[in-house]
Structure 1
Amino acid sequence: MNGRVYLVGAGPGDYGLITVKGLELLKNADVLVYDRLANSEYIGETKPGCELIYVGKASADHTMSQEDINRTLEKKAKEGKMVVRLKGGDPYVFGRGGEEGIHLRGNGIEFEVVPGVTSAIGGLAYAGIPITHRGIATSLHVITGHKKEGDLDLEWDALANVRGTLVFLMGVKNLERICKNLIACGKEPSTPAAIVSKASTSLQSTITGTLEDICEKAVQNDVRPPSLIVIGEVVSLREELSFFEERPLFGKNIVITRARSQASALCKRLQELGASVIQMPAIEIQKIMPDAGLSRAVDEISKYTCLVFTSTNGVEVFFEKLYEKGLDSRSLHGAKIAAIGDATQREILKHGIRADIVPERFVSESLAEELSKVLNEDDRVLLARARGARALLKEELDKICKVDEVATYEAVIPKEQSDANRQIMQSKEFDYITFTSSSTVTNFISMIGSDNMHVLDGMKKISIGPVTSKTAKSEGIDIDIEADEYNIDGIVKAILEDAGRN
């Protein structure tokens, strides 16, 4: 039985501009066929085992011809696979999606189109240029600035005399010809014009001028594809409507190595500040199974006078087992609750319990010190945390009372993501990479490979705290910046402060 092909528009560049449906299809694809204009972070959204096929095309440099792309889509669908053809912008706006659809239909393959935000609208919006505006531009015209045969045979008289906005896609190479033809056919030379390069990405740049001088400015600024050319009075609104390029981390590319399930808060904070964030999970949280140790501890929960949690993961797994056995938070009424970190404290609060002990410094040494003030030899402590965690906390508590340590989860290397991660690291230049635990450091090295550590050259390495920094140093990674606060807020502040100095 044949599979189905989905022609999905990825939007102009910003990761968040893909549609909900498009992202859902991407996550379930058996095969991803993608081009150079789609955000490389989408590769990381694919499921383990997804076949990745790059078919990027630049001017005079085609990885694969359109005919070969068509045949590839057909072939993979006939293997019974779900295929996502991911395109920058919208598949039907100069994206050759129609050609692919016709080929598939002609060969008995079912397909579906998922529209995307075209750069002609979304890209301009990110540059502060509305494609229409009441009283200024009541029509819009999206034109290809590149023809297969090289001859740009457009209706120049008609284009020169419209009062709306003209947007040329793929037109940088023909910019001079476009401007000269419009002026020759009556377009006012003083008409505002702009070129937006790499729209809605951290590398976005915008130059403005007039129809008469925009070519000269393009040469001065070494403008290169992919770029949008916009001509019309709406360009004059940019000064009032620009927002994307004003944010403090605009232009910064940041790699997040945290587990995907935990990275959303950090990603969201950095993206709101203007950064382009690439998720490259170096860890995947996996429950310890079978969990006889945890099961036994929950069965005997009443004997514990203190429960210690060092991460949100430990909290999640513990309470899941508690509820599975038909118990709830009331079972913990006689025990003190201790936690490391604000996030762990918040996770405990979700279950209706406030942690009794949370040290100011989010490290094991500080928690051990605080617990030493309230525990005595008659206490019994349950320490629920990751397998392979630092021995220090248990060793210190063992000096005071009996401690039962239960491994509730482990941080493992994400399955089958190494190739995708290496591809992402080599596809663009990054400014920062963040490490939020020792596991993210060691697993990152395992994923990338010790022979490929040069990919870290040129980017600043950010650590969440001294323990992670120590691990990095032992693995040959020099940490450039260590957060003053050992949490997500601390990482964000560290990056903001460093970016502000440069």
Structure 2
Amino acid sequence: MSAGKLQGKVYLVGAGPGDPGLLTLRARDLLAVADYVFYDALSASELLQWANAKAQIVFVGKSSGRQAFSQREIEALLVRRALEGARVVRLKGGDPLLFGRGGEEGEALAAAGIPFEVVPGVSSALGAPAYAGIPLTHRGIASEVTIATGHEDPMKPEASVDWAALGGLKGTKVILMGTERLAEICQRLLEGGVQEECPVAAIRWGTTGRQEVRECTLREAASGEFSAHSPSVIVVGEVVKLRNRLSWREELPLFGQRVVVTRTRSESSCLGKRLRELGADVLEIPTIRIVPRPLRDSQRDLIRRLAADFSWVILTSPVGAGLFLHHVFETAGDLRALGKLRFAAVGKATAAAVARFHLAVDRVPESYTTAALADSFAPEELCGSRICLARSALGNKELPASFRRLGAHVEEWVLYDTEPEMGDRTGARGRFLEEGAHWILFASSSAAENWQKLDLRPGKGASSPQALSIGPVTTQALQRLGVVVAAEASEHSIDGLVACLLGLARKEQ
């Protein structure tokens, strides 16, 4: 390493069992600053949305049974990038040191003199049973837990796991990566003394919106009558019976529903989180990329005297609200620059974006549309006043005309442009093409138009989603594009869109 060059560092990070909400705060912080992210197939792909936008994302896991890189090649990559001075995140499903080969990678880094850090993750051995309603221990039923792998190093002369001996132990058995050898493993457990009627659960895609849980007896599993599909966590023990009372995820109102979200990347993440909390399998497929415009010198001069030159600022979106107020604080650096200036906003989300700056919103129309905003003003309120209308380049052209008819002087500030989002970091588009979805949510006309440009059509046999619209303007755009709208939210907000989805999902259950 040349003199003065900084040495990098490698972080062996546990990605958790699948639910993005189970990623640790430390892991998320590291993803945000990493120069490289090497991830495997067991990492929830949604986690990649939190990676540094400039990071190089490299898949090093298995796909269609083939390994992208050998273990030694992965270790060499980690060493090489760290020697170049990079911050490297090695994102591994579950916990990196529990059957994750993180120990081997740590040894390789130590041998090369590379500093590294281990960030533990929630193992699927713990997370999947919890989401399936299976407590691994329970007073009076099981006081011990044994975790074993059903997939060992094929180069070893003999297996390390003595399944018959394991069958002689009390308590719960959790088996990872054992679906291909399930019948053989269960037969050995029977030989070790586990009762034939002992319950078995196979939890596939545990903790995610597509979680599946199948149950049988150990005898059925040993006979080959019962098959589990990878990736599954196998639980053997009497605690499985408690699922009848403790199964909670299947009770969530959107469990079993796959939902496509089409907003900007940041907005999709917020809405996706809410839908996951309701049990949905969410595919975040952003259609819009926000491109902020720099302020002109004349606009910066106006910001310094906003309170003197304007009576109202009109904000029509959360993005516009955030950009406008960031410009105010960046330029003026003081809340007092706003003086007695009043704010009007379209919708609760836009008002909430203003409130995050500790500012009150003076006008929010009952109907969350730009037309309703104009109608909420009386002529005597606006006649002779000056309005700053801050929004996107695609704003409703009728809105400034409506204010001018009321006698106001309107200055339009275009804060940002929108363009189609073509990236697919998380692989959500691929899943949609392969599996389809039950619902697709549209929160703006531009999202609808850009979705149409992507021309994503589910493959043969996959579900075609029903379209839900946030309001009349979006509905009209969808209809112009030839999209059948299954329903329009009665309240034209994200809350209303979620409520609309919940109502339709209940009817179809």
**TM-score, normalised relative to structure 2:** 0.86
Q: How far did residue 219 of structure 1 move?
A: 4.8
SS state at 2:140 partner? coil
In the alignment, what sits opposite 2:147? Answer: 142
Q: Is 1:313–1:409's contact at 8 Å kept on the other side of the alignment? A: no
**What residue is the counterpart of 2:254 in the other structure?**
249
Corresponding residue SS for 2:391: strand
Deviates more, 1:277-286 or 1:488-497: 277-286
Amino acid at match of 1:471: A
* Secondary structure of 2:106's aligned partner: helix
Relative to 1, partners in 2 of residues 1:350 and 1:55: Cα closer, same or farther, differing over 3 Å?
closer
**Per-residue CA distance 1:395-437 (angstroms, 9 max, x = gap):** 12222324322325214449xx734348331045344333322
Please give the alpha-carbon distance, in whole angstroms, between the structure 1 residues aligned to 2:108 and 2:86.
Answer: 17
What displacement does 1:16 show? 0.9
* Other-structure match for 1:424: 428
Matched, 1:67 2:72: yes
What's the offset of the Cα at 1:211? 1.3
1:361 aligns with 2:367: yes
Corresponding residue number in structure 2 for 1:128: 133
Change (3 A) 1:370 1:175: same
Q: Does residue 46 in structure 1 map to residue 51 in structure 2?
A: yes
| Deviation of 1:201 (Å) | 1.1
Please give the per-residue CA displacement for 1:470-499, whole angstroms capped at 9, x wherever unaligned: 334555655444322210111101221222
**Other structure's SS at 1:254 match:** strand
CA contact (8 A) 2:324 2:415 kept: no
Residue 398 (structure 1) aligned with residue 404 (structure 2): yes
Match runs of 1:226-265 below 5 Å: 226-263=231-268, 265=270
The counterpart of 1:225, out of the listed 223, 226, 230, is 230
Is 1:161–2:168 an aligned residue pair? yes
Rounded to whole Å, the distance in 2 between the matches of 1:326 and 1:71 is 48
1:192: which partner in 2?
199
Residue from 275, 279, 283 that aligns with 1:274: 279
3-state SS of the aligned residue for 1:420?
A: coil
How far 1:293 moved relative to its partner? 4.9
What corresponds to 2:495 in structure 1?
489
Amino acid at match of 1:208: E
1:105-120 pair list within 5 angstroms: 105-120=110-125
The answer to whether the Cα contact below 8 Å between 2:11 and 2:117 also exists between their aligned partners in 1 is: yes
For 1:212, what is the secondary structure of its paired residue?
helix
Deviation at 1:340, TM superposition (A): 1.6
Relative distance call for 1:404 and 1:76 in structure 2 (3 A) is same
Structure 2 gaps of 5+ residues are none
Q: Does 1:461 align with 2:472?
A: no
Compared CA separation, residues 381 and 419, structure 1 to 2 (3 A): closer
Residue number among 93, 103, 107 corresponding to 2:98 in the alignment = 93
* SS across alignment from 1:134: coil
Greater alpha carbon shift after TM alignment, 466-475 vs 182-191? 466-475
**Is the contact between residue 291 and residue 408 of structure 1 (CA under 8 Å) also seen in structure 2?**
no
Q: Which residue of 2 aligns with 1:288?
A: 293
8 A contact 2:253–2:502 mirrored in 1: yes
CA distance in 2, matches of 1:348, 1:229: 49
Q: Distance in 2 between matches of 1:67 and 1:445?
A: 44
Residue 262 of structure 1, CA deviation = 4.0
Give 1:196 shift.
Answer: 1.1
Instruction: Indicate if the aligned counterparts of 2:257 and 2:280 stay in contact, CA closer than 8 A.
Output: yes
Specify the SS of the correspondent of 1:173.
Answer: coil
Contact 1:372 1:397 in 2 (8 A): no
Alpha carbons of structure 1 residues 347 and 187: separation in structure 2 relative to 1, 3 Å: closer
Counterpart residue type for residue 267 of structure 1: G
Comparing 107-116 with 23-32, greater Cα deviation is found at 107-116
Whole-Å Cα distance in 2 between the matches of residues 403 and 495 of structure 1? 41
Unaligned runs of 5+ in 1: none
The CA deviation string for residues 259-301 of structure 1, in whole angstroms up to 9 with x for no partner, is 3444555233212211233444444555432244543444153
Q: CA deviation at 1:123?
A: 1.1
In 2, Cα distance between equivalents of 1:256 and 1:88: 25
SS in 1 for 2:235: strand
SS in 1 for 2:377: helix
Q: Secondary structure at the match of 2:116?
A: strand
Compare 15-24 and 344-353 and name the one that shifted more.
344-353
With the length of structure 1 as denominator, give the TM-score of the two structures. 0.88
| Cα distance in 2 for residues equivalent to 1:30 and 1:231 | 42
Contact 1:364 1:393 in 2 (8 A): yes
Would you say how many aligned residue pairs link Structure 1 and Structure 2?
494
Matched-pair contact (CA < 8 Å) for 1:30–1:83 = yes
For 1:58 and 1:327, the matched residues in 2 are separated by 54
Alpha-carbon distance in 1 for matches of 2:356, 2:127: 39
1:137 to partner: Cα distance: 1.5
The alignment partner of 1:187 has SS state of coil
Q: Contact 2:347/2:368 (CA < 8 Å) preserved in 1?
A: yes
User: CA contact under 8 A between 2:320 and 2:415: conserved in structure 1?
Assistant: yes
The answer to whether the 8 A contact 2:173-2:237 is kept is yes
Name the SS for the 1:213 alignment partner: helix
1:318 touches 1:408 (CA, 8 Å); kept in 2? Answer: no
Runs of 4+ in 1 over 6 A off after TM superposition: none
Tell me which amino acid in the other structure corresponds to 1:344.
T
What's the CA shift for 1:171?
Answer: 0.9
Q: Taking every aligned residue pair, what percent have the same amino acid on both sides?
A: 37
Give me the whole-angstrom Cα distance separating, in 1, the residues matched to 2:291 and 2:276: 27
Shift in Å at residue 193 of structure 1?
1.8
Query: What is the CA–CA distance in structure 1 between the aligned matches of 2:103 and 2:358, rounded to whole Å?
Result: 55
- CA distance in structure 2 between the aligned counterparts of 1:490 and 1:185, rounded to whole angstroms: 57
Distance 1:91 1:326, change over 3 A: closer
Distance 2:400 2:242 in 1: 62
Structure 2 residue aligned with 1:201, among 205, 208, 217?
208
Q: Distance between the aligned counterparts of 2:449 and 2:188, measured in 1?
A: 59
CA deviations on 1:217-265 (whole Å, 9 max, x unpaired) are: x856x53101111111211222222112210111333333333444555
Distance 1:437 1:174, change over 3 A: same
Tell me by how many angstroms 1:167 deviates: 0.9
Contact 2:379 / 2:407 at 8 angstroms: preserved in 1? no
Whether the aligned pair in 1 keeps the contact of 2:203 and 2:214 (CA below 8 Å) is yes
